[in-house]
Amino acid sequence: MTSAHLLARLAPPLFVVIWATGFIVARVIAPYAEPLTFLLVRYLLASLILGLIVLAARAPWPKTPRDWRDGLVAGVLLHGLYLGGVFWAVKHGLPAGISALVAGVQPLVTGALAGPLLGEHVSARRWTGIGIGFLGASLVVLPKLGDGGVPPLALGVCLLGMLSITLGTIWQKRTGGRLDLRTSAFVQFLGAAAVTAPLVLLTEQGHMDLTLPLLGALAWAVFGLSIGAIGLLLFLIRQGAVVGVATLLYLVPPVAAVMAFGLFGETLSLVQMAGMACAALGVAVASRS
């Protein structure tokens, strides 16, 4: 088995597991840092590290202004507006279950837009898998829906974040095939920092308590999420249909629920476990060639 083939086989489960830790990071940093300030520091550190990697590997830089523009726009959509919206919404009272449910709508929206924007044909089997997966993800977060009220503004911001990553995935599929993945990620985080910095100046005080939990979460957010998970996401988008990649996100709420059970002692009900099985079945059906 070649290394490229092995990476193609391992990338989907690795991506799901690492991406699910983002919900854990959001919970850990909430008492210690303002959300956009934390994300800005994360983007800047990720840009610095990826820039050094690109220089050390002598990877090719974008050759034209269009390449720079495409990467920056992808960064604004995939990271800046999506993560900024989700972190801000959770910080301002949106229950985590609601935010996960909003994220679960993404494959449905991606499936609806992939045809007119990318010319991708979404088969009946894939639509069936998307529907099953959405049902499973909904069952996983169902016990969390009664944890508190739903602030309308926070819900609206979270919805905008979901639309942003949907459009960012489609944009990356259309424009990101020319760049080296390391260079592409570097440019994207510059775009994410560029859109987040003015929002920090306008809405936050730049507060961060440099505690061990925060520093640990920041280190994982930079190396595990920004470099590891985003690298896998860009690889998966380049290798396959964006609807199939989006459908993988149905597995994120179940994996995050298991992590929260192990780390924070959150309960797992029979409904949630049934939802996990249903989400896995939906992804299996949607991903079947």
| Mean pLDDT across 20-37 | 85
> Looking at the whole model, is its pTM more than 0.75?
yes
Contact 133, 107 (CB under 8 A): yes
The strand pairing partners of 208, in sequence order, are 33
Share of the chain above pLDDT 70, in %: 83
| Mean pLDDT across 178-184 | 84
- Is the pLDDT at 79 greater than 70, yes or no? yes
The strand pairing partners of 33, in sequence order, are 208
CA distance 132 to 275: 10
260/266: higher pLDDT = 260
What pLDDT was estimated at residue 259? 79
What pLDDT was estimated at residue 42? 95
What pLDDT was estimated at residue 242? 66
Sign of the dihedral through C-alpha 39, 156, 18, 113: negative
Of residues 217, 156, 280, the one with CA closest to residue 23: 217
53/24: higher pLDDT = 53
For 116-130, 134-148, 262-276, which range has the lowest pLDDT when averaged over its residues?
134-148
Backbone angles phi, psi at 151, to 5 degrees: -65, 125
Tell me the DSSP string of 33-77. Answer: B-HHHHHHHHHHHHHHHHHHHHHHHTPPPP-SHHHHHHHHHHHII
- Is the pLDDT at 260 greater than 60, yes or no? yes
What pLDDT was estimated at residue 22? 83
- C-alpha pair distances (Å), 249 with each of 134, 187, 279, 282: 10, 24, 9, 11
- Is the pLDDT at 45 greater than 90, yes or no? yes
- Is the pLDDT at 257 greater than 80, yes or no? no
CA distance 170 to 243: 9
- Is the pLDDT at 118 greater than 70, yes or no? no
**Residue 25 host element (H or E):** helix 3-29
- Is the pLDDT at 73 greater than 90, yes or no? yes
pLDDT in tens, 191-249: 999 999 999 999 889 889 999 999 999 999 999 998 998 888 888 887 766 666 767 77
Of residues 269, 288, 286, 242, the one with CA closest to residue 119: 242
Angle between helices 82-91 and 96-103 (to 10 degrees): 160
Contact 133, 284 (CB under 8 A): no
What pLDDT was estimated at residue 146? 57
| Mean pLDDT across 5-22 | 81
What pLDDT was estimated at residue 38? 94
Query: If you average pLDDT over each of 77-86, 101-110, 135-144, 242-251, which comes out highest?
Result: 77-86
234/66: higher pLDDT = 66
